Structure 1
Amino acid sequence: MLHFFSIRILRAFVALTLVLIIAFITVRFSGEPFERMFPEGTTVEHEQMLRAEWNLDKSLPEQFAIYLGNLFSGNFGQSLYTKEEVWQIYAERMPATLAVSGWALLVAILVGIPLGAISALWRQSAVARGAMWFAFLGYAIPHYVLGIGLILLFGLYWKALPTSGLESAAHYVLPVLTLAIPMIAALARYMRATMLDAIAQPHVMTALSKGISERRLAQMHILRNAMVPLLTVLGLEIAGLVNGSIFVETVFALPGVGRVLVNSVLDRNYPVLQFGVITYALIIVLITLIVDTLYTIADPRVRLEA
């Protein structure tokens, strides 16, 4: 068990280190922020002063060493535009992102898993066929296309729901649906596939031949075996939820960290962008570790294969 988690933690550390290096280098290759800061131009002396203040006049290895030193000392930097601490910028906007993402995840689990189970157990019914068509379409449509479609339908044509902000419960409906529908589709498709595989197992056939009731068979053998591999897909969908929130927050003008990240890219706001990329990578790594832990609890054989 200790060996299993040691390997996972080492991999997580290597992944975060690579993300840190890549994020630092790529944001600087995107250009300097002076053109965005001063669209009408500025003096050479002023640019030189700002480069010295932000350590941009030093070589790339020197800049990286300074950044690492500040990072390990708890100094994550300040926004180049507002001088606000970057951790404070994300802390103020994280609740909105967590609220929308959390509701989307809950809706996806409560709808997607039962939908997939129904489609497997009654796969010849019209409901099962309709569910699979929905899953196919929901999985194929990108978040931003789905979001714009919902805005046009419910906001512009029907005028039934608000399309921006998070002032009331009604404001959550469209962004939550935009994030949840692709997850519902993915969970339903995978749940159906894993249950069909579980149904075909010899021990299930043996139990069925002994006259066990269909309800007990589904609970004790089919659902239990199907839920183990579903944990992996659920972890991947949660990681995808982090990426999808960036598009959704931009489309619906939500006050979350996704918009902060997008604006930092456009403004070439190095400290804000670096902190956001590293934070997103850390979240995904933690999700992966949690899923691995749950997987070992659900199926102890995984520890032996690590």
Structure 2
Amino acid sequence: MVKRFWKLYRSVILCVAICIAVLACSAGYTVGVVSMNNVIAQIDVNIGSIEAYLEKNQNATKLLTEEFKEDYSAKTRTIAMLLSQDSSFITDDRTLEELRVTVNADMISISDHEGNVIASTDPSGAGNSIREEFRSHLTDDVYTDVLFLLDSDTPTIVAASSLDGGNGLVQITFSADSVVSLLQDADWANIASDMPLYSSGTTAILETDTLKYISCTNTDLIGKTTDYGKEQLQRNKGKFNVKDADGKTEMVHYQTSGDYIILATVPYSDIYHMRNVVVGWIVVGGAVILAVTCLALRMQLLRQDTKNKKK
């Protein structure tokens, strides 16, 4: 019976099976291409948004830094001019303290032409030396500069200005707490938190030098060093594939922006999830259609055999 059934209807069964296979392949290819294009488009949107934010933030930071530098330079230069006009202020602790309070500084130090501190509002500062960055300008007739030391545990701003035509320097130390809060007007850690990529993908910002996460969709990675090597991220823009800890292959897109690298990762299982669902449904539906077709043909064969027996 089976051999006879296959001999009579194999062409029909094979045609149905081939049609189902072609439909599944076509649908899988089409949905796969659309899914990949959608992922790439979303990655471009995320990277573009972060890059625009970084550029805006960097420009604002530069302008603010210049404004702060001008402000602290003016304060320091004013104090230097006052001390140059009346050298008795240098040895008058009360006057120095009043000047410190006037410019809202933490400490005022005055050095001789060799860089040794000869007077200071902080008793522990006397006998020390001014900062090494200023020592080459001890004999300059006119000199004023500002250092922003914001990466230390206690951020400070240190400004120096020439005293009395090159006979030493005035060094003033300011607290940088307010400056830091203004320069960091946004919470960097949350920049990428609102930019997820599908169920398991991530958007992140890395420091170029250290390759540490400073912002990421997965907040557990913030502060950690990425597993990707510098050789993989050496170009201005690129992509590559890697395997994660679970053995899943991920697509990685990156783009540099100033001192940062914008990173987007998406597992291929996420990208092609919809394609797999569509193909699965087509295969299951096709199997049902094929089974129904075989049953209908078998019934037709049984009817035909019944008629032949009656004859």
Question: TM-score if structure 1 supplies the norm length?
Answer: 0.26
Relative contact order: is structure 1 or structure 2 higher (C-alpha 8 Å, sep ≥ 6)?
1
Question: TM-score if structure 2 supplies the norm length?
Answer: 0.26
Counting helix residues as a fraction of each chain, which structure ranks higher?
A: 1
